[in-house]
Amino acid sequence: QRFLSSEIDSIEASLQNSLKETHSIEAYINSASSVPVPPIDPDTHATTETSSVSDSVARYYQIYKEQEQLIGKIGSTVSPHYQPHTLLTNPPSPSDVTLELLLASGAHQGHHTSLWNPANARYIHGIRHGIHVISLDVTATHLRRAAKVVTEVTRRGGLVLFVGTRPGQDRCVVKAAQLAKGCHLFERWIPGSITNGQQILGRCRTKVVNEKDEEVPGFEEQLYERAVLKPDLVVCLNPLENYVLLHECGLNNIPTIGIIDTDANPNWVTYPIPANDDSLRCAQVIAGVLGRAGEQGQKLRLQAAEKGIITYTPAQDLKLPDQKEAGDESQDILEPNDIELLEKLLAEVKVEEANDGKGREGEEEQSDKQTDEN
Amino acid sequence: MGRYDFTPLRVREATKRLFENHKINTMPPWYIAVSGIPPAQTLTRPVMRAPRVKGHKKPSRMFQPMRISYPEDELRSEFFGDHPWELARPRVILENDGKDEKRWDWSRIVQPGKKLDGESVVQRQMYLMEHSNLTKEAAYDQARREFYHYRHLEDVERRISKEEALSTGAYFNKGALEIGMELEDVAYENWKAWATKQIEETKQARAQLYSGPVEQATTELEDEEMDEALNEVQESILATEKGQDALGGVPIHV
């Protein structure tokens, strides 16, 4: 007991000593500078904010603004130049994609001619300095198409996975996923995360959200029995290293978007974007554009939800908690407006089917036209 | 097809079949999006070059991309062939917005935001050939002279700035000559150590070969003995018909 009290005494004594030290330092600072330091309360050891401090803050801000007006223009004007961080903090949107932007980010530089994959011959503009140069108009076209896909998928409540495993691609991948409210991956893809998802991702938490993205509680038991989520669209910034992921997506019928360089196989992805996968700046531009496209899609979806329109098919085999408690087994949780939406969607699908024949013919005509031109 | 895998391109059709055959209950959220945005054509090989008209011994390069060449390439090779050390100058290949070319006006050789380079000379030469109707050689000479003028200004600036720095108390590292001399000294010391070692080794080798008593070539003689020995040898003059006397046991030989 004597030990404890002496310890407490020593702690108190040390606290008092530190307080005295701070008092002396405060006195010194107050005497030296014009900005007064707020005093420390001895009981609570906190600073006491007084109204005089906020008045002085306003006064100093005014002085600062006057100074800025006087001398702010002194010095050289730095002309607009490339600032790497803006690609991550404020990525370009699909409408900002220009050939000059792609050129500046080095999207046109392919690999040496001896390393090419002849399957992407149509994306190549020519050979310069021994390397294949990718056509930037082709890149822009494919990028806009991929952005449209991302927008439409996110608009219908799809989950997008952004993958970029090369060093330095983590920031742009995370930013894109944040904008599109999807998932990101910048470390190695664990093989089997889709085909063997229950084993690898079984411990991940899932949640039920309503049309306004608010979590709806009460579904824990049902979620415990539910299968693991799979992405509805995968965007891959380096398909050459992630061929396992792309193969798994093919097995599970998941559409993919990927940056296809001159040595990559364009058939590995559903929507290739012929560009330079070795340039970090190029990957950041493309990831930024697709992230912004996802952001637009999410915005459209939430705008529709505000009006009461649900753009997606709700989960079929989930029962509302109160209905489950009541013991109703065959209660359909579909609301009347959901059924209407479903019918509308099915009608769209049927229209797609009817147009499929026409669409295919149209494609063939186009391909014929192209060959004629060539 | 055989060695091609089109599964990623057929995800929509596969999902449609699954839905029709009741393997899945609902269409996934991406179905309508992907249906409305068909993927681009794949595996097409457009004609890039003119085909071989006759004599089909070698395979045609009709479908291979062509090399991109510009008229400036010839001028570049000429300039850098005449000024090879311009290639040693470091070059920044980072572009800001890709619109540099729109801001250039080659009526002057110096452009804002672009370092004076062999490229400036070539572009200036092209401008003069086009607008001033000069021949290639005349345009090259004029562009070259303008380039030399600005390089000379740069050299003068460098020299003056070094003098200014020295006068205000700056000190620099060792110059190239000093460093060279130091390296030479180090190399010389290394050589000297190697040479003395070689001498020792050859002496030892020779001593090993010779198995008799070691003959001391030079013995320490006292002054009297030295005088006697000198008297003995004094009369023999080498550069005559008689030549050196055959004196076997003499302490000193001429």
- What is the residue extent of each domain of chain A? 1-38, 92-306
Using the 3D structure, point to which of B148, B167, B186 is the last residue of a domain.
B167
Q: State pLDDT tens for residues A5-58.
A: 667 778 888 888 888 888 888 888 888 888 778 788 777 777 766 667 778 899
Q: What is the mean pLDDT of residues A139-150?
A: 98
Contact B65 A121 (CB under 8 A): yes
pLDDT for res A55? 83
Note whether B79 and B140 are same-domain residues. Answer: yes
Note whether B89 and B161 are same-domain residues. Answer: yes
In a domain, B21, yes or no: yes
Q: What is the mean pLDDT of residues B87-102?
A: 94
Q: What distance in Å separates the CA atoms of residue A337 and residue A320, rounded to the nearest whole number? A: 17
Confidence grade of residue B175 (pLDDT, cut at 50, 70, 90): very high
Neighbours of B113 (CB within 10 A): 10
Chain A interface disruption, residue of B30, B73, B114, most A CBs within 10 A: B30
Note whether B94 and B150 are same-domain residues. Answer: yes
State the smallest CA–CA distance between residue A90 and chain B in angstroms: 16
Q: Does B65 contact A at CB distance below 8 Å?
A: yes
How many domains is chain B partitioned into structurally?
Answer: 2
State the smallest CA–CA distance between residue B64 and chain A in angstroms: 7
Task: Give the residue among A371, A156, A144, A110 at the shortest CA–CA distance from A263.
Answer: A110
Q: Does B42 contact A at CB distance below 8 Å?
A: yes
Q: What distance in Å separates the CA atoms of residue B107 and residue B124, rounded to the nearest whole number? A: 7
Q: State pLDDT tens for residues A93-119.
A: 999 999 999 999 999 999 999 999 999
Q: Does A272 contact B at CB distance below 8 Å?
A: yes
pLDDT for res B254? 58
Average pLDDT, chain A: 87
In a domain, B232, yes or no: no
The amino acid at A117: N
Instruction: Using an 8 Å CB-CB cutoff, list chain A residues near B37.
Output: 145, 148-149, 152
Q: What is the mean pLDDT of residues A305-310?
A: 95
Q: Does B60 contact A at CB distance below 8 Å?
A: no
Q: State pLDDT tens for residues A338-358.
A: 556 666 666 666 655 555 544
Minimal Cα distance from A152: which residue of B?
B33
Q: Does B1 contact A at CB distance below 8 Å?
A: no
| Whole-complex ipTM | 0.73
Q: Extract the tokens encoding A75.
A: 């010095």
Chain B interface disruption, residue of A243, A270, A333, most B CBs within 10 A: A270
Confidence grade of residue A330 (pLDDT, cut at 50, 70, 90): very low
Q: What distance in Å separates the CA atoms of residue A332 and residue A346, rounded to the nearest whole number? A: 19
pLDDT for res A36? 76
State the smallest CA–CA distance between residue B49 and chain A in angstroms: 10
Note whether B86 and B147 are same-domain residues. Answer: yes
Task: Give the residue among A124, A143, A120 at the shortest CA–CA distance from A132.
Answer: A124
In a domain, B193, yes or no: no
In a domain, B223, yes or no: no
Of A158, A270, A272, the CB nearest to B29: A158
pLDDT at position B185 over 50: yes
pTM, rounded to two decimals:
0.73
Task: Give the residue among A206, A18, A175, A152 at the shortest CA–CA distance from A89.
Answer: A175
Note whether B29 and B110 are same-domain residues. Answer: no
Q: State pLDDT tens for residues B197-247.
A: 999 999 999 999 887 776 666 666 778 888 888 887 777 777 777 777 777
State the smallest CA–CA distance between residue A168 and chain B in angstroms: 18
Q: Does A354 contact B at CB distance below 8 Å?
A: no
Using the 3D structure, point to which of B144, B167, B190 is the last residue of a domain.
B167
Q: Does A121 contact B at CB distance below 8 Å?
A: yes
Helices A280-307 & A170-180, crossing angle to 10 degrees?
A: 10
For domain A92-306, which architecture applies? 3-Layer(aba) Sandwich (3.40)
Residue A103 CA from chain centroid, whole number = 24
Chain A interface disruption, residue of B24, B31, B70, B91, most A CBs within 10 A: B31
pLDDT for res A360? 41
Note whether B16 and B90 are same-domain residues. Answer: no
Using the 3D structure, point to which of B167, B188, B211 is the last residue of a domain.
B167
pLDDT for res A48? 67
pLDDT for res A358? 45
Task: Give the residue among A63, A41, A61, A60 at the shortest CA–CA distance from A50.
Answer: A41
In a domain, B75, yes or no: yes
Q: What distance in Å separates the CA atoms of residue B188 and residue B174, rounded to the nearest whole number? A: 20
pLDDT at position B110 over 60: yes
pLDDT at position A176 over 80: yes
Q: State pLDDT tens for residues A193-226.
A: 999 999 999 999 999 999 999 999 999 999 999 9
Q: What distance in Å separates the CA atoms of residue A305 and residue A312, rounded to the nearest whole number? A: 10
Q: Does B47 contact A at CB distance below 8 Å?
A: yes
In terms of residue numbers, what domain contains B158?
Answer: 71-167
- Checking DSSP bridges between strand A109-112 and strand A256-260, what pairing results, if any? unpaired
Note whether B135 and B83 are same-domain residues. Answer: yes
Instruction: Using an 8 Å CB-CB cutoff, list chain A residues near B18.
Output: 253
In a domain, B243, yes or no: no
Which of these ranges, A223-227, A260-264, A301-305, B81-85, has the smallest mean pLDDT?
Answer: A223-227
In a domain, B238, yes or no: no
Residue B224 CA from chain centroid, whole number = 71
Contact B68 A312 (CB under 8 A): no
Q: Does B26 contact A at CB distance below 8 Å?
A: yes
Instruction: Using an 8 Å CB-CB cutoff, list chain B residues near A253.
Output: 11, 14-15, 18, 28
In a domain, B115, yes or no: yes
Q: What is the mean pLDDT of residues A238-252?
A: 98
pLDDT for res A282? 98
